[in-house]
Amino acid sequence: MLVKLVTSRLRATRPRRLAWLALAASLGLLAGGCESFDSPQNTFSTSGDVAEDQRYLFFFVMWPALVVMVLVGAAMLYILFRFRRRSEQEPAPKQVHGNTKLELAWTIAPAFLLIAIAVPTLDGIIDLGRAPHDDALRVNVIGQQWLWSFEYPELVDASGQPLRIDGRPGETTELHIPIDREIGVTMESNDVIHSFWVPKLAGKEDVVPGHINEMWFNATEPGTFAGQCVEFCGLDHAIMTLRVVAETPEEFDAWVDEQLAAAAAEAPVTGTR
Amino acid sequence: MAGATLGRRPLTLMEALRQTRAEAATYRGIWSWVATVDHKRIGVMYGITAFIFFLAGGIEALVIRLQLATPNGAVVDPDQYNRIFTMHGTTMVFLVVMPLSAAFFNLLIPLMIGARDVAFPRLNAFSYWVFLAGGLFMNISFFTGGNIFQGELGAPDAGWFGYAPLTLNEFSPGNGINYWAFGLQILGVASMASGFNFIVTILNMRAPGMTLFRMPLFVWMTLVTSFLIVFAMPVIAIALFQLLFDRLFGGNFFNAEAGGTPLLWQHMFWLFGHPEVYILILPAMGIVSEVLPTFSRKPLFGYPFVVFSGVAIGFMSWGVWAHHMYTTGLGSVANAAFGVSTILIAVPTGVKIFNWLGTMWGGSIRLNTPMLFAVGFIAMFTIGGLTGVTHSAVPSDYQQQDTYYVVAHFHQVLVGGAIFGLFAGAYYWFPKFTGKLLKEGWGQLHFWLMFIGFNVTFQPMMILGLMGMPRRVSSYPDGYGFGLWNMMATVGAFMIAASILVFIYNVIVSLRSKEQAGADPWDGRTLEWSIPSPPPAYNFAEIPTVHALDDFWHQKYVEDAAERPVPVVAGGAHEAEAAEHEAGDHGSIHMPSPSYWPLIAALGFPLIAFGFIYDYALIAVGAAFLLVGLYGWALEPATE
């Protein structure tokens, strides 16, 4: 009799314990997994102001959301345990049809919580949505199937040609930028929709044919940052990659001079042909 | 003598048709299924067909997971991968979750409102056949790309969302996109027809006394879903027509070079697409709202709040479409507006979750399989809803948009939500339509395998997205830290697949079992439990008169002074009524006659679509089928 009771209890609790485990595991994975991995496109290990603001906002929403999730989950498990049917002979419970005050409360309370989310959201939208500052370094990003090209409209050589880095199929194009300076990006597409994304520096912006989009970002420390196209654009979408090389202003200027000189050396050859 | 002559010579077409119709009326044999207009049979056919497509979409998912299990996956090439992920998404949305919901509408709505059939039984059969035709048409595209045995697939390859201009001829030559666009048009006809049918059925066919606020919650959610279908499908139909003009006749709706606007497609698609999300989830919410009260032995907590939050979701679903487009450059004001509307839609969703918890609170909860799935639904849907709230933080969403974080989010909603809800419904109502309960042990195994598998599959995807893994990539390189989490997701996907095998096994064993479930195995609350399992063709021997919400429960129990239900004494109203149901011959009840015309009309659609793709002559053939079908339908005598 006792054995039977114990085993039936065990059987009754096992699903709940599994559910706890699953919950704890998913929580642990979510909280622990993201921060500890310094992978090349991790949105949590940021090196630019835009990405940092976005990371901050994500946590601003994620932590309350996690709290709500844990509370709802815990409430559910508590209810399932406390109000489980102990025997089939158990009389039916009191028939409660609702409680208007309580229901109004749980309609209105989340609304306040959600308004709290709206405040930094709107603030962020306006900040990121502004046009790039006048002193920003302008870059044109050109997307096409399946490569990226970059053009610096303000950095011109002796003949007035802007510095341009053309992508080659199957290769990763590099975008050089100076650190601690705002980069104003203008995006254009030669064919289908692409999306320009360098997770450690900033969230993405779509590259739409016939529609010029702008965004701004910066890098706060030197380094090489991986990025890729994130709008499905056909066969080789997966390998449409790019790299941002952020360097000190001196290094960047040296790189620009070098590129312009190389372009000048090449130009006559193509020009006479 | 004349009969013998008739027996020898081959039947004329009309004679053959009349004979099959006569056979159909007997409710036996294959023809009785082909020509059926019985909502229960159509529901069963919807369910089985959608489940087969579910297996197909599931196999596609497993191929995707195998490809992505390790870095630089080479199970399929990028071309095959793009076709398979496109078909996975399209299949699961249009050929699985929508028709599975339609299966439940068909099976249950007439029974729950005390009717003998839907308002338009032949239109209902037409919906099913058009759905089947559209689903097969869509999947035939796999075989049109060359030699399939050498891996040459012809299926569409621009994603289930089909963003222009990638879908235009210049970037997507071949017929894949044409199959996709025509396939969705055909499926849209089926959805529209069934949407109208259920609106009229619910508004006009309710038993006496069943006011709107005595309707079971599933009926309410079906009504809201049907309205969403009726308003949303035309939007995508127009978008698809525009796309087809561009592809077939050199139109310029989406071609930027010729002055078209690629973003127009996205607005149209998501104006349809976001209500569609609720078309997928509201029926499951309705199912859960039926299962929870039964297994808690308590009425739904705050019925009006749950109804109105469902209606509110239906309205608000039209105001959030651009949250799929934050990064397309809509400008700060539009992004702010759609960010706020996305925040607001969380309110009615939250109300539902709290009311479900309120339903269970103070109840007498039995965790049978349907209840397990319903509870699993609440848990997973909560996570899905909360990750949805994180999307309303627009600047942060610039990071998560188009990453695996979004994949994780909507699978939380559509698998952890819709599919769990539909399985709850399958376990709950299986005995009603087969007379057999699904085995509890196998059901528990199914649930736990699926629940754990689900979490092992989709929670790692959240991490992948936050780690910067984009969606829709056919492979990813080494050194990005994606390998471990992808491997987990793949293991989880196979756990889900195993759980589905358990379900299939369970269905087979349970159908073969000799144990009868009886009319009311769960102590149900709604009218369908008041009639035998499986229900007779005419459903109700006598149309019931409804006196309350949860009418059947009130036939069985009265509440004492402390609001506790007390069983009605033997020989009370409930049993008297049951006895009345048993007695007598009900052959004289007038039921709609079977008809093969809906099937003939339905065949017209794929033929017309083939005509546009291959040879215009076929359009005439298809149109002939459609016209003959519709004329035959219109001129058919009501009874024979």
Select from A128, A136, A130, A233 the least CA-distant residue to A184.
A136
pLDDT in tens, A24-58: 666 666 555 544 457 899 999 999 999 999 999 99
Domains by residue range for chain B, with CATH? 28-583+613-635 (1.20.210.10)
Can you give the pLDDT at residue B564?
A: 85
pLDDT per position as a tens digit, A172-206: 999 999 999 999 999 999 999 999 999 999 999 99
A231–chain B Cβ distance below 8 A for any pair: yes
CA A165 to chain B, closest CA, distance in angstroms equals 24
Q: How far is B435 from chain A (nearest CA, A)?
A: 22
Chain B contact present for A204, CB below 8 A: yes
Nearest by CB to A122, which of B302, B336, B469? B336
Q: State how far residue A47 is from chain B, nearest Cα, in angstroms.
A: 14
Domain with residues A137-267, CATH architecture: Sandwich (2.60)
How big is the A-B interface in CB pairs under 8 Å? Answer: 334
Residues of B in contact with A40 (CB under 8 A): 468, 479-481
Mind telling me how many Å the CA of A243 is from chain B's nearest CA?
14
Among A23, A201, A231, most B C-beta atoms within 10 A, so best to mutate, is A231
- Note the pLDDT of residue A115: 87
Of these ranges, A210-214, B194-198, B579-583, the one predicted with the greatest mean pLDDT is B194-198
- Listed range (A155-159, B418-422, B447-451) with the worst mean pLDDT: A155-159
List Cβ neighbours of B235 (8 Å cut-off, separation of 6 or more): B268, B271, B272
Residues within 8 A of B (CB atoms), A 6-35 only: 15, 18-19, 22-23, 25-26, 29-30, 33-34
Q: Residue A142: beta bridge partners?
A: A149, A188
Residue of chain B with shortest Cα separation from A58: B396
The pLDDT assigned to B395 comes to 94
**Residues of B with Cβ-Cβ distance to A43 under 8 angstroms:** 399-400, 466-468
Structure confidence by residue, pLDDT tens digits, B210-266: 999 999 999 999 999 999 999 999 999 999 999 999 999 999 999 998 999 999 999
Taking CB atoms and an 8 Å limit, are A44 and B79 in contact across chains?
no
Question: Which residues on chain B are in Cβ contact (under 8 Å) with A53?
Answer: 395
Confirm or reject contact between A98 and chain B (CB < 8 A). Answer: yes
Confirm whether pTM is higher than 0.90.
yes
Choose the weakest-confidence range: A147-156, B19-28, B156-165, B382-391.
B19-28
CB contact (8 A) between residue A238 and residue B473 = yes
- Ranges of H-type helices in A37-142: 49-82, 100-129
ipTM: 0.90
| Residue extents of the structural domains in chain A | 2-83+102-129, 137-267
CA B79 to chain centre: 29
Q: Measure A146 CA to nearest chain B CA, in Å.
A: 12
Q: How many CA atoms lie within 13 A of A250 on its CB side?
A: 0
Task: Among A232, A233, A239, A243, pick the best mutation site for testing chain B contact (most B Cβ within 10 A).
Answer: A232
How far does the CA of residue A42 sit from the closest CA of chain B (Å)?
4
User: Does residue B54 contact residue B100 with C-beta atoms inside 8 Å?
Assistant: yes
In the structure, what pLDDT confidence band is assigned to residue A267 with cuts at 50, 70 and 90?
Answer: low
Residues in Cβ contact with A223 at an 8 Å cutoff, skipping those fewer than 6 apart: A47, A246
Q: Which residue has the tokens 């709609």?
A: B592
Would you state the structure tokens that stand for residue B451, as one six-digit string? 């629940």
Q: pLDDT tens, A222-266?
A: 999 999 999 999 999 999 999 999 999 999 999 999 999 888 887
